[in-house]
């Protein structure tokens, strides 16, 4: 399965037996409610909203959503609504999480606590998926939001999270590029050394279920003709599904460039936990939230990627 656009992904979601259930932690959030109810009308999700029941009810009525199917779960004062949301996930009554009007540290605290069952023992990372002009299909980018300056082993785990996510969406063997500024290994550029080591791991079977290449510059990864001109013999140039950023700042700037100045559509989720997590910032526009919900819903399938438990 290769997706050309978010509408293509949406078509697959509508083929599910029923909409995926998103649990919005901190549901006293008019923008979060706008997003989940808009997604509900498009057949993407069923909203489960956690927080102060009275206040949420007011916002639901004010927004004109009262007649739409949804569930409100009261979280009393002094109780972290994210903990209540995690309990709902663990009970089997929701499929993925979304941050509402709650501090990020409070939202993530119950998620990363291994006692609550969502932390699978690996690492969590940010997974972005974009629809950008002049590229024939959706392109992924990681990690642009969680791990600031990953080690080579953390990069291996980030790649595994990304491959797992794409395979949940239906990709059989994702093509993954290790982004650098140049295509040759330079000891003064640690990211190129890391890329060569990661390719060696892949060749040894330690990064399975994907095709991996690097170091590669951005232009070569996304344009076959540029690779031909520079004499780079890589069969996947111009056809990659996923880009691995060398550090957070590269991934973050690239995502924002796509969304804010290149006319692209971008969705982003946190992966590596047992369920997808939508962690959109308050500044994320409506389209970004909608794409993130589409992405998270598409990932709610049986895990097809097996891995040893990592500490």
CATH number at residue 13: 3.40.50.10950
Domain of residue 134 covers 121-268
If one counts the domains in the chain, the total is 2
Same domain, 97 and 144: no
Same domain, 170 and 260: yes
Same domain, 43 and 137: no
Model confidence over 218-240: pLDDT tens digits? 999 999 999 999 999 999 999 99
Check pLDDT > 70 for residue 310: no
Model confidence over 97-117: pLDDT tens digits? 999 999 999 999 999 888 888
Check pLDDT > 80 for residue 186: yes
Q: Is residue 297 part of a domain?
A: yes
Q: What is the pTM of this model?
A: 0.91
Same domain, 278 and 264: no
Same domain, 125 and 213: yes
Summarize the confidence of residues 47-75 as an average pLDDT.
96
CA distances, 169 to each of 10, 216, 268 (Å): 11, 25, 14
Check pLDDT > 70 for residue 302: no
Q: Is residue 310 part of a domain?
A: no
pLDDT at 295 (0 to 100): 96
Same domain, 108 and 134: no
List, in order, residues 6 or more apart from 274 with CB less than 8 Å away.
89, 117, 118, 119, 120
pLDDT at 306 (0 to 100): 35
């Amino acid at each position: 399965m290769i997706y050309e656009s978010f509408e293509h992904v949406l078509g697959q979601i509508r083929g599910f037996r029923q909409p995926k259930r998103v649990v919005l932690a901190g549901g006293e959030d008019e923008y979060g409610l706008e997003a989940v109810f808009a997604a509900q009308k498009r057949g993407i999700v069923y909203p489960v909203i956690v927080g102060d029941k009275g206040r949420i009810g007011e916002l639901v009525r004010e927004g004109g959503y009262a007649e739409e199917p949804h569930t409100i779960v009261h979280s009393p004062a002094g109780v972290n609504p994210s903990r209540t949301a995690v309990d709902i996930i663990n009970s089997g009554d929701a499929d993925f999480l979304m941050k509402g009007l709650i501090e990020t540290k409070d939202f993530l605290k119950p998620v990363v606590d291994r006692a609550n069952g969502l932390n699978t023992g690996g690492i969590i990372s940010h997974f972005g998926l974009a629809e950008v002009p002049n590229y024939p299909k959706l392109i992924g980018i990681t990690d642009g939001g969680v791990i600031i300056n990953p080690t080579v082993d953390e990069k291996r785990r980030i790649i595994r999270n990304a491959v797992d996510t794409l395979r949940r969406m239906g990709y059989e063997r994702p093509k993954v590029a290790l982004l650098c500024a140049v295509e040759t290994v330079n000891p003064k550029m640690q990211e190129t050394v890391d890329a060569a080591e990661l390719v060696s791991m892949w060749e040894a079977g330690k990064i399975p279920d994907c095709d991996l290449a690097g170091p590669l510059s951005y232009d070569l990864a996304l344009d076959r003709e540029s690779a031909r001109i520079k004499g780079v013999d890589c069969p996947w140039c111009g056809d990659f599904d996923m880009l691995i950023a060398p550090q957070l700042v590269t991934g973050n700037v690239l995502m924002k460039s796509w969304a804010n100045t290149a006319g692209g559509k971008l969705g982003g989720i946190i992966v590596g936990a047992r369920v997808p997590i939508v962690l959109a910032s308050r500044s994320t526009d409506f389209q970004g939230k909608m794409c993130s919900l589409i992405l998270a819903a598409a990932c709610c399938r049986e895990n097809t990627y097996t891995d040893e438990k990592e500490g």
